[in-house]
Amino acid sequence: MTTSLYNFIDAKDKFAASAVSALAGRTSKPLINAFNQITGNEAEKKTTLDQSLRGVLGDQIVEQKASCDEYLALIYISIEAVTEGICSATTPFLLLGDVLDCLPLDQCDKIFSFVEENVSTWKSSTFYSAGKNYLLRMCNDLLRRLSKSQNTVFCGRIQLFLARLFPLSEKSGLNLQSQFNLENITVFNKNEQESTLGQKHTEEKEDGMEVEEGEMGEEEVPATCSIPIDYNLYRKFWTLQDYFRNPLQCYEKFSWMTFLKYSDETLAVFKSFKLDDMQASKRKLEELRTSAGEHVYFAKFLTSEKLMDLQLSDSNFRRHILLQYLILFQYLKGQVKFKSSNCILNDDQTAWIEETTKLVHQLLKEIPPEGEKFSAMVEHILNTEENWNGWKNEGCPSFVKERVVDDKPKRPVRKRQAPEDFLGKGPDRKLFMGNDELTRLWNLHADNMEACKSDDREFMPSLDEFFAEAIEQADPTNMVEDEYKVVRNSNYGWRALRLLSRRSPHFFQPTNQKFKSLADYLDSMVSKLAKELPKDIPSEEIKTGEEDDDDNGDNLLKESNDSPSMQSKMVSNQQMDDVAAKLGAKWKTLAGQLEMKASELREIETDSEDVDMQAKLLLVAWQDREGTQATVENLVSALNAASFTQIADNLSEA
């Protein structure tokens, strides 16, 4: 098939017609239909459509019959067309640009609203890359046409739109090199010649024309201002604005000195001239709000001398100036990549800046209304600025966080071993305390607990050690007089008591003896101990208190000879049989020793005729009565007491 030559004009006309009908019907269908009908390749058709759309718009504008809505409708159709893929992506932007270029400002407002509303469309992938430069150029053109003081809101809207359109790191929107607007010059009357006050108006007056400048009439006497003016302060105050305009001046020595001097004076005035609290200003604020409807008119500084007093008494004005100071200080102190290397503050300057920053903040806090809040807010904002500054210094990295690719397998983290000599884990297991003496002390023994339990910490003497002297004295053969006996010594006596309580079971023996004095009591104790001591006392620490409380202390002595296992053994039946057999008729004697009651004896006698059996019954009764105390040792001691030593020995041997 031969490719026929693409007829551009024809296609364009066809597209134009369909565009008009699309516009009339507010739908892009005719365009789509036309697109499909015309033969030709995509690219050609697209460019043709672009041209035709532009042509249609141009016609409409030229005719001046259409309203903004018409233009907007056309542009909207073109957006649809792009989405359908029949039109190139730049066309809507070109159309917008054309419209805005050709319309007066008040109508641009409406077009711009349309632009604002469709931010999401512009940001979508199809449109963004194609259109962002066009949009930027379009907005800049608009901004250039607008006056910042007359159309502040519109300018603001355009700026905001740009901010929303572009990502944060878009460099074209940044003041990358931190340059200053050096053209922002504050004009004031620097010397007396320029002051229009107090001077006769020398210009020729035309007939009939009222010269109204400077309130000069036809008077001969120069009109003078009606209030005294502090020219000194006036000049110094406004000179400061030059330093705020161009902070780099501060790095030069001479300029810095001037700045210092003037600032000190100005801040001194602020300090001494405290602002009135609220009464007047509150009313003024309310009036402002109601009349201006939340619009605050900020005129660039009005620098007439006559206004100086009024300005000084205004809180907002003061806040402006003080804020300028803070911004300036932040710049001077801050690290900015684009500052040249000789822009460094010396120590004096830094110190002065610190001091003055504090003063400025204090002054801000004193300015009603809500000075404290304002000061805190300002501090916070300036801190945030530091972050932005840092961001710019790094070359404005993007804020989009990249997804972290997790491909490295996690290595098992090796637990670091404690260093060798740490806490006694080293080879020689020595603790290093950092100080020789301490190290020595700590390393006397590896384990504190063991060290406390070790034998050489036993300081309590044994009974024989302590009482040796007393026992010797108690021996009548030595013939030691009573008053010289060591037991009379109260100190000795006290210690003896303590030792007895820890070591001797005699201490806990209830006794009917009444002792008149400690010495007497100790005498008896000593005598008891004397009997024991030649024999070995098996255990040094006798458990106190619950030791079997037999009536007879002598029993204890005998019992202590027995092996411990025997002591608490219960009498078995077998043993009882043996004993009974051996006892025979003599069981009554034992009964006395076993402290059986007479009634019980009679009972036993009546129970059985057999003496063996009676003996057995006796023992059984004894066992019942004693319960757990029916131990072998008790029986043995009873047997011994009843002179049945043989039987006792037999029993104990068993």
Partner 1 sequence: MGLIELLHMSVFSQSFSPCGKFLAAGNNYGEIALFSLSAALGPDANELSQKPILTFTAHEGPVFSLLSTDSHLLSAGNGEISAWSWAELIKKNVKAAWTRRPNYKSSLEIPEINAMALNPADNSLAVGGGDNNVHIMDLENGAFKSVLQGHTDYIHCLSVRERASEVLSGGEDGAVRIWDTRTSQCVHCVEVYKYETCARPQHGKWISCLTTDSDWMLCGGGPSLSLWHLRSMSPTSVFPLSGCQRQATFYQDMILTVGEGQCVSHCLMGGEVKAQIPCTPHSINTLAINTNSTEHRVLTVGGSSDHIDVFTNLSYKAFSLRF
DSSP for 376-427 reads HHHHHHHHHHHHHHHHHHTT----PPPPPP--SPPPPPPPPPPPTTGGG-ST
- CA 18 from chain centre, in angstroms, equals 66
> C-beta of 273: minimal distance to partner 1 in Å?
4
- Residue 586 · residue 618 · CB < 8 Å: no
If the CB atoms of residues 181 and 193 are measured against partner 1, the closer one turns out to be 193
- Residue 165 · residue 122 · CB < 8 Å: yes
If the CB atoms of residues 107 and 258 are measured against partner 1, the closer one turns out to be 258
Contacting positions for partner 1 (CB under 8 A): 189, 191-192, 195, 197-198, 224-233, 268-269, 272-274, 309, 312-313
> C-beta of 192: minimal distance to partner 1 in Å?
4
If the CB atoms of residues 197 and 566 are measured against partner 1, the closer one turns out to be 197
If the CB atoms of residues 95 and 360 are measured against partner 1, the closer one turns out to be 360
DSSP for 446-479 reads S-HHHHHHSGGG--PPPHHHHHHHHHHHH-GGG-
The C-alpha torsion from 619 through 620 and 622 to 626, rounded to 10°, is 130
Between CA 22 and CA 14 the distance in angstroms is 12
Between CA 63 and CA 57 the distance in angstroms is 10
Burial call 600-626: b when 16+ CB within 10 Å, e when fewer: bbeebeeeeeebbebbbbbbbbbbeeb
> C-beta of 266: minimal distance to partner 1 in Å?
10
> C-beta of 320: minimal distance to partner 1 in Å?
19
Closest CA to 19 of 27, 72, 47: 27
> C-beta of 285: minimal distance to partner 1 in Å?
20
> C-beta of 316: minimal distance to partner 1 in Å?
17
If the CB atoms of residues 225 and 533 are measured against partner 1, the closer one turns out to be 225
If the CB atoms of residues 191 and 563 are measured against partner 1, the closer one turns out to be 191
If the CB atoms of residues 224 and 291 are measured against partner 1, the closer one turns out to be 224
Between CA 28 and CA 10 the distance in angstroms is 20
Q: Which amino acid is at 39?
A: T
- Residue 169 · residue 216 · CB < 8 Å: no
> C-beta of 304: minimal distance to partner 1 in Å?
13
Between CA 503 and CA 599 the distance in angstroms is 41
Contact residues for 552 (Cβ-Cβ < 8 A; gap 6+) = 637
If the CB atoms of residues 191 and 512 are measured against partner 1, the closer one turns out to be 191
If the CB atoms of residues 174 and 269 are measured against partner 1, the closer one turns out to be 269
> C-beta of 323: minimal distance to partner 1 in Å?
21
> C-beta of 95: minimal distance to partner 1 in Å?
60
